[in-house]
Amino acid sequence: MRKLVSLGLVRDFPQGAPQLVRAEGRRLACVRRGDRVDVLDDRCPHEGHALSMGTLRDGVLTCPWHNWKFDLSSGRCLFGGESARRFPVEIVADEVFVDPTLDEAEARLRREEDLVRAVSDGSVDGAVREALRLARLGGDPAVPLVRAACMRTPYGAADALVAIEASLALCDAGILDDAESYAVIAQAVSDDVRGRPERALPAALPGSLADRDAFLDDLLEERRHDAVGRALGLARDVPFDAIVREWLVPFASIKLWDRGATLRRIRAAEALAARLGDAVRDELLVGLATSLGWAVAESDLPAWRATRAGLHEMARVAPGDADHDPHLSAALRGKEDEAVGAALASARAGASPRALLEELATAALERLASYDLACSDREGSAVTAFEPARAVIFAAAALRAPTGRVALAQAVMLAGLVGRLGRYAAPSSATPAAPQASAPASPGDLALAAREGALSPRCSWSSRGRTAALAAACVELATPERAELACAALRRATMLDTGGGLARIAGTARYVVDGRDVDD
């Protein structure tokens, strides 16, 4: 309901000089120009300095702290980042009235727009502030960020989408706070979408889940527009998890040559759809259909001869239900052909897909924990700790739904990958596998390692999205038996980073949005 509060008489405001007025617990920067008075929130949206201490020229108010400039008539930021909040004013018989109540729907919309603008401009600190403001208004910053991540990159749902889901999971686990998780997300989304406009959507092709083969053909033939159209044409009451199960995961299991990257994106989208609901359903489908349509090329990937043969063989094996195979663990640590052979033999002997994937998850963590850092240092080396980190991320994604033939195929691919990673192991006498983990790791150690890994300012080995995904994967895989290993693996992958950047951005944003005014 509208509520008008008197700020005084027009004639009492000085011409062309901002003035601070306190009303209803708010600080207002009031500027008289002739017979009109404009009122902005006194807190500069950048770092909270008093706009009433700013300077005025040609209807533009300049904050004295870092010179952000605001159009008095709209509050829009003309130089800098986010807009200032402007209050509606009425003048009745020379008396100035302001409505200090917030139109929350309008405010959320404006914050969403400013948030997307900030990540598109590459302003991570601005995006974190806007995300916090949106959250304080009851909005969910993940919604506009998921839309941006899915709709603005030519490759659809990619690392940024995974970073969003992974960072929210780390926040849910109490490892990151909200500002920190937004900082990780803002960095990852900005890396992917900076300077990119939203893509145009094709027309929806109405159909049902029974059209799966047509959808898969579109992807295999790289007809991405048609694949997106089919995804958009599915009836709205088809559950997202059914689309994942019937259309998306089967495709990812035909084309596993991206070493699990597509599967991880699908699992991220599934979790985000469950969390955010219909608000992002179309965007997630568009992002995934686009992403899968780019995932078909395998010709430039390594030969993977043993893995290809293993996948062919495994298609004839019925999934078993035994939950343990005592011979599997050691065999999985062999070379590609040995690891694939072990997985096949174990599956034939009745090991369940879950049992295979659990053993492979442990083996993947061991590969990462023993990764030879010298591999990254060699001149011209394209190898980084991301090679074994892929396997850890892949294992965690596969273990979210470890049943059926699809999971068996994933186990073979993962076995081949883990086997191939043996070449990057540190010589045990030269470099200890996990120097930081000499004492048993506690849950707190793992949380700290995950937090530092996700927030470190530079990832010398990978993108922000992948680092967040690895941190979340290690937390996901950290059963009591694997906690110490997960901690050592994470430390190994992120020990090249130096700390502080995103944590500092998050802390400043929290101060600006939630803290006191700078001159109080």
Binding site for ligand FES (CB under 6 A): 44, 46-47, 49, 63, 65-66, 68, 80
Three-point CA angle 227, 412, 243, nearest 5°: 30
Q: Closer CB to ligand FES, residue 20 or residue 383? A: 20
Residues 6+ apart with CB under 8 A from 491: 434, 436, 437, 449
Q: Closer CB to ligand FES, residue 78 or residue 274? A: 78
CB of 135 to ligand FES, least distance (A): 21
CB of 48 to ligand FES, least distance (A): 6
CB of 220 to ligand FES, least distance (A): 52
Instruction: Give the closest residue to 56 by CA, choosing from 90, 19, 12.
Output: 19
Q: Closer CB to ligand FES, residue 47 or residue 165? A: 47
Task: Report yes or no: 343 and 335 within 8 Å, Cβ to Cβ.
Answer: no
Q: Closer CB to ligand FES, residue 44 or residue 471? A: 44
Q: Closer CB to ligand FES, residue 111 or residue 267? A: 111
Q: How many helices, marked H, and strands, marked E, lie in the chain? A: 22, 11
Q: Any bridge partners for residue 38, and if so which?
A: 31
Task: Report yes or no: 56 and 16 within 8 Å, Cβ to Cβ.
Answer: yes
Alpha carbons 477 and 291: distance in angstroms, whole number: 26
**How many C-beta atoms surround the C-beta of residue 359 within 10 A?**
27
CB of 451 to ligand FES, least distance (A): 28
Q: Closer CB to ligand FES, residue 49 or residue 224? A: 49
CB of 63 to ligand FES, least distance (A): 3
Q: Please identify which residue in the block is written with the tokens 């049992």.
A: 355
CB of 45 to ligand FES, least distance (A): 8
CB of 80 to ligand FES, least distance (A): 6
Q: Closer CB to ligand FES, residue 130 or residue 140? A: 130
Q: Please identify which residue in the block is written with the tokens 């591999």.
A: 375
Q: Closer CB to ligand FES, residue 128 or residue 151? A: 128
Q: Please identify which residue in the block is written with the tokens 């929806």.
A: 204
- Per-residue tokens: 147: 């839309």
Q: Can you give the length of the chain in residues? A: 520
**How many C-beta atoms surround the C-beta of residue 20 within 10 A?**
14
CB of 503 to ligand FES, least distance (A): 20
Task: Report yes or no: 82 and 114 within 8 Å, Cβ to Cβ.
Answer: yes
Helix (H, G, I), strand (E, B) or coil at 50: strand
Helix (H, G, I), strand (E, B) or coil at 20: strand
